[in-house]
Amino acid sequence: MSKKILVVDDEREIVKVVRAYLEEAGFSVVTASDGQEALTVFRHEKPALVILDWMLPKLSGLDVCRTLRKDSDVPIIMLTARVEETDKLIGLELGADDYVAKPFSPRELVARVRAVLRRAEGTEVQAEVLEAGGIRLDTASRAVSVRGEKLELTPTEFDLLALFMQNPGRVFTRMQLLDKIQGYAYEGYERTMDVHIKNLRQKVEESPSKPKRIVTVYGVGYRFEV
């Protein structure tokens, strides 16, 4: 059964092109043209992934992302025409898994969709249970708990934590993390990893501003402390 993708954009030509490429790649596609409709379609259709434009009528893409993240870990790829890097990172801070800047290559977008879905399914992770510092992570069920309390992580956050816990003490550069987690490491994307790390710390650290597990190695990257 083909995976269902929700495409949310108020530009008809973009929706038409994205739909055509996704369907050619074997996905089924449902669409919405404004933020309110996106939430309605999401609840009814339960898609495997959402491609979400930033600038939408009625309810912005950021508000849609924020609403979805309250009770869902569905993978989200943001589309943005914003040129400032700080603008692009806002969606990631709200829990999006990736962003694509307009204008974009439809083939690259399809590749991003496949990569994010692979991460969400965990098909490339060997089944194991990892425990350290009160954190318990099950790669088979993709379940995480901290001191017995269940956590809801995005696919990117889960894979980051799994990678760190599988390699305690190892220092990873931002580019290495991008390559291992997202499957690509483009110049200019390093700061996206900082946002994912920040979001992950908010969930697993007792004091996110003074992390003891996912620590910064200044001038290099990050490592997981046991």
Q: What is the CATH number of domain 129-224?
A: 1.10.10.10
Q: Using CA atoms, how far apart are residues 107 and 114, in angstroms rounded to an integer?
A: 11
Q: Give the pLDDT of residue 120.
A: 75
Strands (E) across 20-142 are located at: 28-32, 49-53, 76-80, 98-101, 129-132, 135-138
Q: Give the pLDDT of residue 188.
A: 54
Q: Using CA atoms, how far apart are residues 165 and 186, in angstroms rounded to an integer?
A: 25
Q: Give the pLDDT of residue 35.
A: 94
- Short-list 49, 144, 35, 60, CA closest to 96: 49
Tell me the Cα Rg of the chain: 17
Q: Using CA atoms, how far apart are residues 179 and 175, in angstroms rounded to an integer?
A: 6
pTM for the full predicted model: 0.66
Question: Over the chain (226 residues), what is each successive 10-residue block's mean pLDDT?
Answer: 91 94 94 96 95 91 91 89 66 81 87 84 65 86 87 86 90 85 61 85 90 90 89
> Per-domain residue ranges for the chain?
4-121, 129-224
Q: Give the pLDDT of residue 19.
A: 95
On whether the CB atoms of residues 181 and 124 are closer than 8 A, the answer is no
Indicate the residue type of 186.
Answer: Y
Give 108's contacts (C-beta < 8 A, 6+ positions apart): 100
Domain at 4-121, CATH class: alpha beta
Q: Give the pLDDT of residue 9.
A: 95
